[in-house]
């Protein structure tokens, strides 16, 4: 196993992939280039097509149209067992009557490898996944996180060119889930295999992925690094889905200014008409000069390092969320009147 990083070399090309179930188009013309040694996330709400897309890659669903090219070869016609990809299920599906070592060895035994080769590869993968001390335990004797690592090791031991993970952390509690996110990222770098993970958890994708694709109703909306998608969401749905976003409905006037009730902001925008201005809570600051958007605090949520102020303004029917440091000398309380300053450079504009 060697430490590896993502390259610009494409290992898996998804070309116009489609899948319909009767009149329902579950995956609608998705095209993606996934790079060698990349940690790639397929993200979206329930029913967006991400799991169907993963199952087509694994060979458990036949595409209605399009191609799946692995290193230039179309693998769409191949059955699952003939594809150099491996799918790790959310349920883990470990053999309860087998020890950890036997669970790991099973797939290699089915390939009729020599005992020496099987033992060598089992020892190697147990070292990488920190499972050596559990070699003789059965799944019922392991914690949820340990079972997750066994399932991951069993998928990796066959050395697939691409590992597919379907909500692999969904059954874990919050703290273990957060720890395993970093563990998965570490393991992916160490084994040097392309990981494609399906998740509905935006924070999970932001933490682990080198790049992510956002799907909705079977269509690809945006693909990019976590920073690109978070900072420059391509449309209002992506902006609302990734992280927390404030929206203020208004219009752009002939001078390129954004106008809403009791609020005006110079944007230098070229197009006129009805729009929504989008700004993250961390990109709104409190005015020290008294100039800006007036508001009243209607709720305060404490998050440890920061507080989120929910502020009612004339500009929006929905309270704006403002993130401030928790160690502010004079914490704000419900009922306080404050003035907000929005940086035009940190805003996005979406057509209504």
Compute the distance between CA of residue 275 and CA of residue 270 in angstroms, rounded to an integer: 12
Which DSSP symbol is given to 101? H
CB 275 within 8 A of CB 248: no
Residue in this structure with the two tokens 């053999």, named with its chain if needed = 95
Using H for helix, E for strand and C for coil, what is the string for 312-339?
Answer: EECCCCCCEEEEEECCCCCCCCCCCEEE
Residues in the chain: 352
The answer to whether residue 297 sits within a structural domain is: yes
For the segment 249-285, what is each residue's pLDDT rounded down to a tens digit? Answer: 999 988 888 999 989 998 877 777 899 999 999 999 9
Q: What range does the domain containing 300 cover?
A: 247-351
Compute the distance between CA of residue 78 and CA of residue 334 in angstroms, rounded to an integer: 62
pLDDT-derived band at 317, boundaries 50, 70, 90:
very high
How large a percentage of the chain has pLDDT more than 90?
58
Whether residue 231 is found in the same domain as residue 283: no
Whether residue 158 is found in the same domain as residue 278: no
- Domain-terminating residue out of 238, 263, 288: 238
The answer to whether residue 5 sits within a structural domain is: no
For the segment 161-194, what is each residue's pLDDT rounded down to a tens digit? Answer: 899 988 877 766 777 777 778 878 888 887 888 9
The answer to whether residue 2 sits within a structural domain is: no
CB neighbours of 210 closer than 8 A, spacing ≥ 6? 6, 35, 38, 39, 40, 225
**Residue range 331-346: mean pLDDT, rounded:** 90
Whether residue 255 is found in the same domain as residue 224: no
CATH number for the domain spanning 122: value is 3.40.50.300
The answer to whether residue 1 sits within a structural domain is: no
Whether residue 39 is found in the same domain as residue 180: yes
pLDDT-derived band at 136, boundaries 50, 70, 90:
very high
pLDDT at 4 over 60: no
Whether residue 264 is found in the same domain as residue 117: no
For the segment 280-311, what is each residue's pLDDT rounded down to a tens digit? Answer: 999 999 988 878 899 999 999 988 888 999 99
**Residue range 114-118: mean pLDDT, rounded:** 92
**Residue range 198-213: mean pLDDT, rounded:** 90
CB neighbours of 23 closer than 8 A, spacing ≥ 6? none
Dihedral sign from CA coordinates of 53, 208, 346, 287: positive
CB neighbours of 173 closer than 8 A, spacing ≥ 6? 144
């Amino acid at each position: 196993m060697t430490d590896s990083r993502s390259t610009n070399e494409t290992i898996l090309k998804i070309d116009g992939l489609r899948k319909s179930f009767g009149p329902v188009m579950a995956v609608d013309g998705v095209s993606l280039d996934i790079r060698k040694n990349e940690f790639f996330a397929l993200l979206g709400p329930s029913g967006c097509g991400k799991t169907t897309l993963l199952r087509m890659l694994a060979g458990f669903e036949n595409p209605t149209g399009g191609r799946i090219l692995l290193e230039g070869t179309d693998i769409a016609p191949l059955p699952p067992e003939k594809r150099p990809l491996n799918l790790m299920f959310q349920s883990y599906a470990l053999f309860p009557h087998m020890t950890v070592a036997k669970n790991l060895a099973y797939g290699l035994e089915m390939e009729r490898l020599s005992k020496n080769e099987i033992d060598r590869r089992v020892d190697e993968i147990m070292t990488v996944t920190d499972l050596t001390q559990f070699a003789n335990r059965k799944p019922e004797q392991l914690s949820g996180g340990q079972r997750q690592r066994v399932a991951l090791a069993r998928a990796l031991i066959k050395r697939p060119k691409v590992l597919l993970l379907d909500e692999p952390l969904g059954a874990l509690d919050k703290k273990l889930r957060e720890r395993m996110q970093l563990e998965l990222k570490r393991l992916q770098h160490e084994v040097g295999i392309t990981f494609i993970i399906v998740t509905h958890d935006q924070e999970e994708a932001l933490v682990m992925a080198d790049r992510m694709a956002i799907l909705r109703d079977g269509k690809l909306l945006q693909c990019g690094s976590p920073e690109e998608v978070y900072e420059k969401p391509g449309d209002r749905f992506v902006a609302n889905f990734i992280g927390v976003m404030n929206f203020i409905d208004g219009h752009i006037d002939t001078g390129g200014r954004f106008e809403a009730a009791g609020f005006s902001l110079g944007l230098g925008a070229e197009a006129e008409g009805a729009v929504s201005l989008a700004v993250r809570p961390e990109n709104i600051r409190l005015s020290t000069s008294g100039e800006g958007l007036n508001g009243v605090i209607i709720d305060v949520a404490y998050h440890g390092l920061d507080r989120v102020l929910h502020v009612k303004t004339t500009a929006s029917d929905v309270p704006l969320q403002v993130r401030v440091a928790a160690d502010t000398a004079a914490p704000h309380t419900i009922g306080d009147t404050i003035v907000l300053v929005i940086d035009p450079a940190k805003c996005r504009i979406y057509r209504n």
